[in-house]
Amino acid sequence: MSEVTTTDLYEVTMALSYLREDMRAPATFSLSVRDLPPGRGFLVAAGLEPALDHLSRFRVGRTDVQEFAEVLRRPVEDLAPLHGLSFDGEVRAVPEGRLVLAGEPLLEVTAPLPQAQLVETYLLALLSHQTAVASKAARCVLAAAGRPLVDFSLRRAHGPEAGMQAARLCGLVGFAGTSNVAAARRYGIPAAGTMAHSYVEAFASEEQAFRAFARTHPGPVTLLVDTYDTDRGVATAARVLKDLGLGPGCGIRLDSGDLGEQARRARTALDAAGLADVQIIASGGLDEYAVDRLVREGAPIDAYAVGSKVGTAADAPYLDAAYKLVEYARRPVMKLSPGKVTAPGTKQVFRGPGLRDVIGLANEEPPNGTEPLLRTVMRGGLRTEPPDTPATARARFEADLAALPPEARRIEHPVPPVPTASTRLTALTAVVRHRIESRTGTSGRSTFA
């Protein structure tokens, strides 16, 4: 399936109309999240790298035109103006890994109107999904308080490609590994995994299973101890590890029940067996809320494997993201729909200490003590710099996370910082609103979002 035809139908119908009306002047669209989901104190910008890959190879081919015509039940000739359309515009964006707040543009596209319109759906799908997952994973990092995390999300992700994205995003925010073999190879993330309960069940006894696994994998092993009785599983694992002379680097995994209590009993048993170096790994429906509780309770768990709830951003699986026209043919425009008012003009986010952000116009001078977040990452349809490395994106994330106010870092009931609008943006918004209301005879009190 072509990436070009992976779009909403109205993108095609609008782009075709623009071409027929010769509306090809530069247009700027701004992609932002109107409001943070409940329970979020921040978002992590993500999805930019695959978005730039998509734009750099975007071209409407003959087959794409044929598919559009079939869907619209119209002659191919009617859709011919779309043939050969490619993206040769400019992109300004917040680099991956940076923290962003409600109302701040993650990305702005400036290109001839038909081009900028036709890429909307794909960009929204990439950035909103990946930002949601990266933000969920980042909260797990906060909850773990320095303990290693492993991505186990592939089998419960919303499709294999979503699982690949989740592994990359978990790595971006500092996870120590992933169970996803393909992602480990593609993104250079350490692969991590143990065994399944079915493996243990396939043998006549737990001990036979543990010994067989250790024979096949003579390096450090992690043994799953809760297939039958957890306390007995821990004792059996301790016996096998001691008999085989294994210890440092090895571990046991707890996957069910009261993980805190089981971890305390397991730690006592392992220490009594002289296996203080054997780690305890916890898994089983975990997310930042569960990890946070276990850490605060002092559970002796050395590492956490998180999967389903993180890879799907289960408590906030979508973002209220929008891709809105803010300027056409150098004319600032805005939307006045109740609850969905937008601010006109191309923008910049100026970041101050503690994420005290100011949303302003792109041509403004940065206020004292601030830095601009959006960078020009594509010009003339070409990247302006090489693709980001995971290490660079992670360094940005760690720096922004360290600067995040304590109330926004909370797992329970976080309070996010709220950006303000610059004087110039506020003035432009008032002017454009007055122009629209004078022309249409309407009046409204909504502020932009």
pLDDT at residue 449 in the model: 45
Query: Going edge to edge, which strands form the sheet with 420-421?
Result: 371-372, 347-352, 356-361, 420-421
- Nearest CA to 113 out of 418, 343, 329, 344 is that of 329
Residue 337: per-residue pLDDT: 84
Nearest CA among 115, 116, 121, 94 for reference residue 28: 116
Q: Smallest Cα–Cα separation from 423: which of 374, 350, 330, 331? A: 350
- 92 exposed, middle or buried (CB, 10 Å; 0-12, 13-18, 19+)? buried
Q: What is the mean pLDDT of residues 298-307?
A: 97
Q: Is the pLDDT of residue 443 over 70?
A: no
Q: How far apart are CA 191 and CA 49, in angstroms?
A: 22
**CB-CB contact of 286 with 256 (8 Å):** no
Token pair recorded at residue 56? 């750099």
Q: How many angstroms separate the CA atoms of 298 and 293, rounded? A: 9
CA dist 116 → 27, 208, 364 (Å): 7, 61, 24
Say if CB 281 and CB 154 are below 8 A apart.
Answer: no
DSSP 337-376: -TT-----S-EEEEEEGGGEEEEEETTSPPPTT-EE--EE
Task: Give the C-alpha separation, 394 to 188, whole Å.
Answer: 14
pLDDT tops 80 at residue 416 = yes
pLDDT-based confidence at residue 338 (cuts at 50, 70, 90): confident
Average pLDDT (3-8) is: 96
Q: How many CB atoms lie within 10 A of CB 369?
A: 10
Tell me: the pLDDT tens digits for 174-232? 999 999 999 999 999 999 988 999 999 999 999 999 999 999 998 899 999 999 999 99
Mean pLDDT of the region 100-125 = 98
Cα–Cα distance between 28 and 430 in angstroms, integer? 19
Maximum separation of any 2 CA atoms in the chain, in Å: 85
* Pairing of the two strands 356-361 and 347-352: antiparallel
Q: Which pLDDT score, from 0 to 100, does residue 308 have? A: 92
* pLDDT score of 444 more than 80: no
pLDDT digits 0-9 by tens, 16-38 = 999 999 999 999 999 999 999 99
Domains and CATH numbers, the chain: 9-133+317-440 (3.20.140.10), 142-311 (3.20.20.70)
Q: How far apart are the first and last CA of the chain?
A: 35
Helical axes 259-272 vs 230-243, angle rounded to 10°: 30
Torsion, Cα 15 20 21 27, to 10 degrees, reads 30
Q: DSSP string spanning 405-421?
A: -HHHH-SSS------EE
Q: What is the DSSP letter of 300?
A: -
CB distance 175 to 310 below 8 Å: no
What is the side-by-side strand order in the sheet with 251-254?
A: 177-178, 149-151, 303-306, 279-282, 251-254, 222-224
